[in-house]
Amino acid sequence: MINRRLFLASSLAASALGVAQPVLFAHKKGEEYVLPEEYMPTEVKLRDKFEPGEIHVDPGSYRLYLTLGKKKAMRWTVGIGRGNLYHPGTFHVGAKQKWPRWIPTPAMVERNPDVYGPVVEAGGQDGGINNPLGARALYLYTASGRDTYLRIHGTNNPRTIGIDVSNGCARLINPQVEELYELVPLGTKVVLYPKASGVGVHAAI
């Protein structure tokens, strides 16, 4: 387990980086929601040196970092697994999918058979705007090549960003996961830090 800390020394506005500006996203109830400015992708300077091209997820701050080298990283805000469904560890991206098909895991069916059972019986849900995996998905595998069923994926519901919400995966809004997807090749190292207080990746202004 990595036990180093990331410290924010300076940042660039998302607009200066050419990333998406805050826009209105339709909430499922028909309301309009403005994603907070602080949730936009931001380049940050790191105190410690990390190898470039790694993903680090800090559940305590709901932040996902993609290291760039030279003590810099891109930072996104994510939703994470609720309760004990979040599983820390070190993994790698074993597969990538655009508009992925969603099939609930056996554990999900066991927890809520009435909701997830029919989806499995139907062979899963086709990719699309209402698919729980969103526009893109990065599939996390163990070092031995086993699919963990953990994902970094998209969502069309921005209100689920910055909270404990999922069945174990980390989620970004669709426009942001599309950006991340293009930056992350197969084999990328992914570190999910524990939820325990004081352990993981931290940013300090």
Q: What is the pLDDT of residues 149-193, one digit of tens each?
A: 999 999 998 989 999 988 889 999 999 999 999 999 999 999 999
SS3 label, residue 25: strand
- Percentage of the chain beyond pLDDT 90 is 55
pLDDT at 21: 35
Active site residues: 153, 169
Q: How far is CA 25 from the centre of its chain?
A: 18
Domain residue ranges of the chain, discontinuous segments joined by +: 11-99+134-192
Distances (CA, A) of 66 to 126, 159, 188: 29, 23, 10
DSSP 47: S
pLDDT at 39: 92
pLDDT at 29: 53
Each of the 205 residues of the chain gets a pLDDT tens digit; together they read: 333 443 333 333 233 333 333 333 433 455 677 788 899 999 999 888 899 999 999 999 999 999 999 999 999 999 998 888 899 999 999 999 999 998 888 888 988 899 889 888 888 888 999 899 999 999 999 999 999 999 999 999 898 999 998 888 999 999 999 999 999 999 999 999 998 755 555 443 2
pLDDT at 48: 85
* Token couple for 193: 């830090």
Cβ–Cβ < 8 Å for 50, 56: yes
Helix or strand run (H / E) with residue 64: strand 63-69
Closest CA to 167 of 133, 124, 122: 133
- Percentage of the chain beyond pLDDT 70 is 80
pLDDT at 30: 56
pTM: 0.80
pLDDT at 199: 53
> Which distant-in-sequence residues (6+ apart) come within 8 Å of 19 by Cβ?
40, 41, 179
pLDDT at 40: 93
pLDDT at 148: 95
pLDDT at 198: 55
Cα–Cα distance measured from residue 75 to residue 44, given in angstroms and rounded to the nearest whole number: 7
Task: Please state which architecture CATH assigns to domain 11-99+134-192.
Answer: Beta Barrel (2.40)
What does residue 109 show for φ and ψ, rounded to 5 degrees? -65, -40
Cα–Cα distance measured from residue 149 to residue 38, given in angstroms and rounded to the nearest whole number: 29
Cβ–Cβ < 8 Å for 158, 35: yes
